[in-house]
Homo-oligomer: A and B are copies of this chain.
Amino acid sequence: MTLNLTIVQTTTKKEKPDPNQLGFGKYFTDHMFIMDYATEKGWYDPRIVPMQNISLHPAAKVFHYGQTVFEGLKAYRTKDNRILLFRPDKNMERLNHSNERLSIPPVDEEFLLEALKQLIAIEKDWIPPAEGTSLYIRPYIIATEPALGVSPSNHYLLMIILSPVGSYYAEGIHPVKIYVENQYVRAVQGGTGTAKTAGNYAAGLKAQEGASEKGYSQVLWLDGVEKKYVEEVGSMNVFFKINGEVVTPVLNGSILNGITRNSIIHLLKHMNIPVAERKISVEELYQAHANGTLEEAFGTGTAAVISPIGELNWQDKKMVVNNGETGSLTKELYDTLTGIQNGSVSDPFGWIVEVK
């Protein structure tokens, strides 16, 4: 497709950060994508411009009523210097799913993906080459109309910003300790849990703080109705290997439809490993642990790809998984998926999209 896109190149390129000190989402590239929306015009004026602050009226609706959605994906540099995206069409599709839930007008998925590719092509020198590193891509939409009535905005900004990120596991993949949250709830059926929207993350901060104080990395969220069934871990989806079968909570209307989650399910089927999406109670995990069949556990998400779980604490009952070590299947899935993403493992699924 021919993109009708204005490009304003920066005249003052920033110095690139130390590739060993990237962390996550701390540094940003020289350019960003912006597009406006007005009810009477639709989406208009798509442009790539120098990275810059945005100026908003203090009454902009995003500040007051949280009408905003986002996405997260990564661009990888291969050993032979090609640039790869991983299933970016799925992010565009989910962005519109989130838009629908938040009463935000839909975007043209194909156009936005092309604009994203063009931005990445301009910023290609920002994609770090080291294994485990990548360029994190954050598309997002905010409601900008300056009006305090509680109603959908008539004006929006869509932006894409880029951040070179380090390996999530600086010292190699290692298991984390997880606290099963009994007080706070992330989402409930009928709420916004299936949308990638700011309020879901705001709701989780308090529980995360509590878990950290107790020495745990993340919380395991239970369902908001009975507080019995496993939903997500931190801001990731979650998988358990129980007696040879891999299980993950079924998409029940309050769980995010993770693209890494979906890819892991595909990968497991491809490997002929039994996998099931179903309700999983924390009691079931406890019993499986007690009888020795809770073999592995891990979270999945764009940032960490796969994060092995070494311990679960449920009401002060501790379940150590696989002696607190990364399980062999977890490791294999991590190696395979990150290999497909960075081009070092062949992609039988057609997931990889090259940026020319």
A interface vs B, CB < 8 Å? Answer: 23-26, 28, 32, 51-59, 62-68, 70, 101-103, 136, 138, 140, 142, 146-152, 159, 161, 163, 183-192, 197-206, 208-209, 224-225, 227, 234-235
Contacts and interface: CB of A to CB of B under 8 A. Distances in A.
Given A25-B59, A58-B159, A224-B225, A202 B53 contact: no
Given A150-B235, A224-B188, A59 B28 contact: yes
Given A58-B161, A197-B202, A198-B198, A136 B148 contact: yes
A150 to B, nearest CB: 5
A209 to B, nearest CB: 6
B199 A200 contact: yes
A68 B63 CA distance: 7
A66 B183 CA distance: 20
A188 B227 CA distance: 11
Contacts of A149: 23-26
- Copies of this protein, total: 2
Q: Which 9 A-B pairs have the closest CB atoms?
A: A199-B199, A25-B148, A66-B198, A185-B190, A66-B202, A65-B201, A188-B188, A103-B205, A188-B224
Contacts of A200: 66, 199
Nearest to A67: B202
Nearest to A148: B25
Given A161-B58, A190-B224, A203-B191, A65 B209 contact: no
A58 to B, nearest CB: 5
Given A102-B206, A151-B205, A185-B190, 16 more contacts: A24-B149, A25-B149, A28-B146, A51-B58, A54-B55, A65-B198, A66-B198, A66-B202, A150-B204, A185-B188, A188-B224, A191-B203, A191-B224, A197-B202, A198-B198, A224-B225
Contacts of A225: 188, 224-225
Main secondary structure of the interface of A (DSSP, over half): loop
A63 B142 contact: yes
A197 B192 CA distance: 14
B150 A209 contact: no
A197 to B, nearest CB: 6
Nearest to A55: B53
A46 B146 CA distance: 23
Contacts of A186: 191
A224 B253 CA distance: 13
A198 B60 CA distance: 12
Given A59-B25, A185-B189, A150 B201 contact: yes
Contacts of A188: 185, 188, 191, 224-225
A185 B199 CA distance: 14
Contacts of A152: 205, 209
Contacts of A24: 148-149
